Amino acid sequence: MIAMGESIQQLNKAGKDKLFEMELLPHLSSLYNFAYSLTSNQDDSDDLVQETFLKAYKFLNSYQSGTNAKAWLFRILKNSFINDYRKSSKEPPKVDYQEVESYYNSDDVDIKMTTDLRVDAVNGMMGDEVAMALNNLDVDYRTIIILCDLEGFKYEEMAKILDIPIGTVRSRLHRARQLLKEQLLEYSQKMGFTKRKN
């Protein structure tokens, strides 16, 4: 993309625009979906994505061509969400990870049913039901599941995007999945797909 020995700082506007279009804009769909998962609102997602790309363009000099553009953009979007959007909207309740950890150390929530039934229940879920279960999670848990399972980021990349240690990525991901599993299985019980085992 950039000629040998040339840095982004040396590019003129046309060169920067080209780089922007070739390396950053292709991630629009992923970024939009990430924004939507954070805000649950189309207008806010639009604004957040626009701000992300404008900031990325403004700070293009700090981007290294050919490196992980997607992770860089996700990090900018996440920071914009925390700094701009979250502050101006009603602050969501913070999750006490320690408390959740001790609760979930009691293992596998309180739904006991055979695994075959649970697998059947999970396989029988529709997209809307999965989206609803995911949306019921706290935004931090929702985010990490989306980054990992939907966007395919590695633990190390998620640690950079979220500004948290890699150990926290693992533990948060684990708890997020436990909570999601609980949501999904509770929903399947309500719908009568499975029965609670006594």
Partner 1 sequence: MTHEISRWIKKNLVTRYIKTECPERRKCLQALEEILDNEAPEDMESEYKAHIDQCWSCFQDYKLERAIRQLIKIKLERKPVPDKLLEVIKTRISESE
Assigned token pair, 20: 């922007």
Residue closer to partner 1 by CB (options 43, 91) is 43
| Closest distance of CB 25 from partner 1, Å | 7
Residue closer to partner 1 by CB (options 45, 91) is 45
| Closest distance of CB 98 from partner 1, Å | 18
| Closest distance of CB 4 from partner 1, Å | 26
Residue closer to partner 1 by CB (options 64, 114) is 114
Burial class of 161 by CB neighbour count within 10 A (0 to 12, 13 to 18, 19+): buried
Residues that bind partner 1 (CB under 8 A): 13, 17, 20, 25, 28-29, 32-33, 36, 42, 45-46, 49-50, 53-54, 57-58, 107, 115-116, 118-119, 122-123, 125-127, 130-131, 134, 145, 148-150, 154-155, 170, 173-174, 177, 180-181, 184
Residue 127 CB contacts under 8 Å (≥ 6 apart), including other chains? none
Residue closer to partner 1 by CB (options 4, 59) is 59
Mapped to the 3 state alphabet, what secondary structure does 69-82 carry?
HHHHHHHHHHHHHH
| Closest distance of CB 189 from partner 1, Å | 15
In the chain, what is the greatest distance between 2 CA atoms, to the nearest angstrom?
70
Give Cα separations from 38 to 78, 86, 120, 140, 142 (angstroms).
9, 10, 29, 9, 8
Distance from C-alpha of 129 to C-alpha of 193, rounded to nearest angstrom: 13
| Closest distance of CB 108 from partner 1, Å | 9
